[in-house]
Structure 1
Amino acid sequence: MSEDPTQRGRQRWVQAVGSSPVASLTITKLAWVAEHEPANAERIAAICLPHDWLSWRIAGHGPQSSQPPAGVGLDALCTDRSDASGTGYFDSTTNSYRRDLLAHALPAHISQEAVLPRVLGPYEVAATADPAIAGADVPGGCIIAPGGGDNAMAALGLSMQVGDVSISLGTSGVAAAVSPVPAFDMSAAVTGFADATGHWLPLACTLNGSRILDAGRAALGVDYDGLAQLASQSTPGAAGVTLIPYFDGERTPNRPDAHAQLEGMTLANTQREHLARAFVEGLLCSQRDCLELLKQLGTDIKRVLLVGGGAKSEAVRAYAPSILGIDIELPRIDEYVAIGAARQAAWALSDRAEPPSWPVDIETTLTAPPTPEVYEQYVRWRG
């Protein structure tokens, strides 16, 4: 364990709940409120996430006027394991809250007395909707499923199994793996979330995703097809040019003040086709970093699925299997978070121990000879 007190504290937090208290977790936001708006912190009666609040309101709870009667149903708040695991004070291995950790963010009496949502099982019914809000014409009423975080719902929508990894290329880049055991990354690069099935979803996220391609298009004055055409005129490794694509800082690795760098340029290789190739390879190498982090945690990667807007790029499709070092399955472009929510609803209605089998339309499997030298070149410049 690290000798640095700050790093040692982060590692102890990871051991407790699976994730380091980074800015995206609920607990760090609560700490900000306590520090900057102490009067509001003192007024906290319950702590929940947006989807918890929405389910609670649809079930008919909450204030009915500007002067609500005493008791608005706070004890009816509920959540799911995936969103609870993103709070920074929930232990997904025991399915229990850590109020002792919450006390580091809020005044002691608030951390002990505030209502925290009941954590539901993967297909447990949360409540029945208030018919004045939803489901008035549904016999027996409209039930409310547990819900979940976006990445957990996407994994459910993709019907991911243990050994599957999804790489989602949107504004950010996310590599998420379904694991039968919790993940504890002492480097704090991988967050140990729970999934929506009772397993876990260790996840590595980059701030810079498909925007890297947008930056390449802007720099070279081409559209996506033009970027792919230019890149195809280069060779693996872009003739020695490497892009470290940390345009707005980076989360994985944790370099918040970093900027993008073009390395290895010479008079001989500073050409448009090599620059185009470097942009595409930079994006894919940053996702290879995420895969390597998952592997270091013991994740058994049997299958990789590529989704998100960036997966539409012909250049990404052409070079992903060779740079990531594995064949890539390309599901049909679709709204897999929404599909996951629908699959969860069907599961809650079935009341069976396993989710219903929903086939995923795999558009194609991308294959290419591996080019390990590209990632090795990237790692040398990344440091």
Structure 2
Amino acid sequence: MPVVIGVDSSTQSTKVEVRDSDSGELISSGRATHPSTGVAPVSQAHPSDWVDAFDQAYAQAGSPDAAAISVAGQQHGLVTLDAQNKIVRAAKLWNDTESAADAQWCVDQRDAAWWASHVGSVPVASFTVAKLSWLKRVEPKNWAQVARICLPHDFLSWHLRGGGSSEITTDRGDASGTGYWSAKTEQYDHEVLRIIDSTRDWSKMLPRVAAPIEATGSWRGAVIGCGTGDNMAGALGIGLLPGDIAISLGTSGTVYAVSAKPTTDASAYVAGFADATGSFLPLVCTLNATKVFDSFANILNCDLRQFGELAMASTTGANELVLLPYLDGERTPNLPDARAMLIGLNSNHSRNDVARAAIEGVVCGLLDGLAAITNCGVDTSGRIFLLGGGSQSPAVCQIVADLTGKEVSVLNEPEIVALGAARQAAATLTGKWPSWSASSRVAAQPIATNPQRTAARERFAAARLKNYGV
């Protein structure tokens, strides 16, 4: 019975799952937390922390012998190595917004339509290309030391291969989130890279983009898959089909769907990502999701279960109370300096309405992203899957169902990204994608009326337009 290992190196922790490669049955698992990444607008981590967390999680899983292993990681983070393959500085992570000005500078060098046509996405602070610009501008001495760059999952995979002078590889999914690799051409865009630094020989700095189920080395006798970004691994874990929608509510929020062709969106709402199989994964990401629930539960002096109960005691539309949930700026829409606003509060509103408005504000933002994906010509008529920590809340599931008018399913697997990485490891081992993926169950059916649903969505959009002009 060969076993495979799937690794999820997220912002907050590393998870390891050991699975039977034939059936997908979970054999063991482990988890280790990462140190704090800082206080907004800064979010960064030393890559050695990810290695330490992997070692701890692997030991907790029983340190098993495996036939294959694959690593999924948080997208966009910038890892820098010098000529001696030493880490130059802490990795700037996806939710570090210090590079907001650099993202705008990048766009200003051409225009949004040019960026969308070249790399499928318009730079925002989260993207790696903006972090490259920030490093060159703010830390020129560190920039001068940089010999190789990679993403968090690339770094961990490189470490498994032995590090040092060994090859660094990435995959098309994670590469498509950098802002300098094109899902349309399947190549790095050197015109983009010359905008950042025209004096560099970029061909020596960038990871090779491996094929979707290519073996990229070995670790303790196990073949190493190419790995991928966390959202791409999530799609693998779900077994997402054309037409299906995934809405993930973790620290950040994401909504994505599978597409047979690459997408472009000059409005900067939709990131034109590739997936981990050879198709495409148009995606919208928001910075504010479950942390909004945590913050408002704290404000209302209750735990998350009670917070959900309060929200369910209100009605769709929260009695016309609206939360724009931009606690620490926002990525979509691109409002890095924004702050949250509670709009329409009066003496008749209750704690129930505040809780409901908090959840509806997060969900409305994600559903606006879903509409943008649909407007890119992507089929979004299929099933809705809710995943991430927020999916464990009955209130969140019900509000998503109410505001979409569709049945909502949740997954029976708590670590969907690690499961997706395990599926990739199994495919790398056998040369074909396994038939197993996450099972699901129906969590909520819509009960709101169409007028209630429409009014709540329109009220949120009007408040955002009035206060932020988008």
The TM-score, its normalising length taken from structure 1, stands at 0.87
Question: 1:175 Cα deviation (Å)?
Answer: 0.7
Taking the aligned partners of 2:162 and 2:346, their CA distance within structure 1 comes to 66
Give the counterpart letter for 1:204 in structure 2. Answer: V
In the alignment, is residue 368 of structure 1 matched against residue 446 of structure 2? yes
Alpha-carbon displacement from aligned partner over 1:325-371 (angstroms, at most 9, x marks no partner):
3221111241011101100010011113xx11114221324211342
User: Any unmatched runs of 5+ in structure 2?
Assistant: 1-106, 466-470
Question: 1:11 Cα deviation (Å)?
Answer: 2.1
Q: Structure 1 residue aligned with 2:168, among 74, 77, 99?
A: 77
Taking the aligned partners of 1:100 and 1:359, their CA distance within structure 2 comes to 39
Q: Structure 2 residue aligned with 1:102, among 193, 208, 226?
A: 193
In the alignment, is residue 228 of structure 1 matched against residue 319 of structure 2? no
Give the counterpart letter for 2:117 in structure 1. Answer: Q
Greater shift, 223-232 or 311-320, is seen at 223-232
Taking the aligned partners of 2:337 and 2:155, their CA distance within structure 1 comes to 35
Match of 2:103 in 1: none
Give the counterpart letter for 1:60 in structure 2. Answer: G
Alpha-carbon displacement from aligned partner over 1:185-225 (angstroms, at most 9, x marks no partner):
11112111111111111111111101221222122222223
Query: Helix, strand or coil for the counterpart of 1:110?
Result: coil
Query: Helix, strand or coil for the counterpart of 1:166?
Result: strand
Distance 1:220 1:40, change over 3 A: closer
Match of 2:296 in 1: 216
Taking the aligned partners of 2:144 and 2:413, their CA distance within structure 1 comes to 46
Instruction: Write the mapping of 1:320-335 to structure 2, written as runs, cut at 5 A.
Output: 320-335=400-415
Give the counterpart letter for 2:303 in structure 1. Answer: D
Question: 1:8 Cα deviation (Å)?
Answer: 5.5
Greater shift, 341-350 or 88-97, is seen at 88-97
Distance 1:222 1:89, change over 3 A: same
Question: 1:97 Cα deviation (Å)?
Answer: 1.4
Structure showing greater radius of gyration is 1
Instruction: Write the mapping of 1:134-149 to structure 2, written as runs, cut at 5 A.
Output: 134-135=220-221, 142-149=222-229
Q: Structure 2 residue aligned with 1:127, among 210, 217, 223?
A: 217
Kindly indicate whether the alpha-carbon contact (under 8 Å) linking 1:284 and 1:324 is maintained by their aligned counterparts in 2: no
In the alignment, is residue 50 of structure 1 matched against residue 50 of structure 2? no
Query: Helix, strand or coil for the counterpart of 2:146?
Result: coil
Give the counterpart letter for 1:16 in structure 2. Answer: H
Taking the aligned partners of 2:169 and 2:314, their CA distance within structure 1 comes to 54
Higher strand share: 2
Question: 1:104 Cα deviation (Å)?
Answer: 1.2
Match of 2:10 in 1: none
The TM-score, its normalising length taken from structure 2, stands at 0.71
Taking the aligned partners of 1:229 and 1:280, their CA distance within structure 2 comes to 12
Kindly indicate whether the alpha-carbon contact (under 8 Å) linking 1:330 and 1:362 is maintained by their aligned counterparts in 2: yes
Distance 1:273 1:18, change over 3 A: same
Match of 2:461 in 1: 379
User: Any unmatched runs of 5+ in structure 1?
Assistant: 63-71, 136-141
In the alignment, is residue 179 of structure 1 matched against residue 264 of structure 2? no
Distance 1:54 1:313, change over 3 A: closer
Kindly indicate whether the alpha-carbon contact (under 8 Å) linking 2:121 and 2:271 is maintained by their aligned counterparts in 1: yes
Query: Helix, strand or coil for the counterpart of 2:228?
Result: coil
Distance 1:259 1:44, change over 3 A: closer
Query: Helix, strand or coil for the counterpart of 1:257?
Result: coil
Kindly indicate whether the alpha-carbon contact (under 8 Å) linking 1:205 and 1:251 is maintained by their aligned counterparts in 2: yes
Instruction: Write the mapping of 1:175-214 to structure 2, written as runs, cut at 5 A.
Output: 175-214=255-294
Instruction: Write the mapping of 1:156-167 to structure 2, written as runs, cut at 5 A.
Output: 156-167=236-247
Give the counterpart letter for 2:190 in structure 1. Answer: R
Greater shift, 277-286 or 7-16, is seen at 7-16
Match of 1:272 in 2: 351
Kindly indicate whether the alpha-carbon contact (under 8 Å) linking 1:44 and 1:110 is maintained by their aligned counterparts in 2: no
Kindly indicate whether the alpha-carbon contact (under 8 Å) linking 1:42 and 1:110 is maintained by their aligned counterparts in 2: no
Kindly indicate whether the alpha-carbon contact (under 8 Å) linking 1:99 and 1:111 is maintained by their aligned counterparts in 2: no
Q: Structure 2 residue aligned with 1:240, among 316, 320, 327?
A: 320
Match of 1:28 in 2: 130
Kindly indicate whether the alpha-carbon contact (under 8 Å) linking 2:236 and 2:437 is maintained by their aligned counterparts in 1: no
Match of 2:360 in 1: 281
Greater shift, 323-332 or 147-156, is seen at 323-332
